[in-house]
């Protein structure tokens, strides 16, 4: 058995997830990444291979927001606003290999409340 770090395990889970989740121009993939200090959200069109919109805790309206539960809710709402500005209403949620609870769930719920459809 090969010992793997937590980061390597998460990356392997994310690769498995990416085999099933694909974003299109009509319904982009909402990709989420959490680090110890920041939260990143991208809306990706996998067909064209382009990032359509993005929001994070270190740029734009989210600058200065902490990477905790409250910050996840704020970034979820900000990401939904950014998506609406680009005329994105429906997305495919990509949890990035993270377990769907805590900050990930809070971000997704806040984005849903702000008007995004998953």
Q: For the chain, give every domain's residue range.
A: 18-113
- DSSP per position, 44-112: EETTTTEEEEEEETTBGGGTT--SSHHHHHHHHHHHHHHHHHTT--B-EEE-TT--SSTHHHHHHHHHH
What percentage of the chain exceeds 90 in pLDDT? Answer: 80
CATH code at 18-113: 3.30.420.100
**30 has a pLDDT exceeding 90:** yes
- pLDDT, tens digit (0-9, with 9 covering 90-100), for 58-100: 988 889 899 999 999 999 999 999 999 999 999 999 999 999 9
Strand order, beta sheet including 39-45: 50-56, 39-45, 29-34, 92-94
Task: Assign 3 a pLDDT band (cuts: 50, 70, 90).
Answer: confident
Tell me what the pLDDT averaged over the chain comes to.
Answer: 92
Task: Assign 14 a pLDDT band (cuts: 50, 70, 90).
Answer: very high
Residue 1 has a pLDDT of 59
Residue 95 has a pLDDT of 93
**39 has a pLDDT exceeding 90:** yes
The pTM score is 0.89
């Amino acid at each position: 058995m090969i010992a793997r770090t937590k980061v390597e395990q998460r990356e392997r889970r994310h690769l498995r997830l990416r085999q099933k989740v694909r974003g299109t121009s009509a319904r982009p993939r909402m990709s989420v990444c959490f680090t110890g200090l920041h939260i990143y959200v991208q809306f990706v069109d996998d067909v064209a291979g382009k990032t359509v919109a993005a929001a994070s805790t270190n740029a734009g309206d989210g600058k200065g927001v902490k990477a905790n539960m409250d910050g996840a809710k704020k970034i979820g709402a900000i990401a939904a606003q950014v998506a609406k500005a680009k005329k994105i209403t429906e997305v495919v949620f990509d949890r990035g290999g993270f377990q769907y609870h805590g900050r990930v769930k809070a971000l997704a719920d806040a984005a849903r409340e702000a008007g995004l459809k998953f």
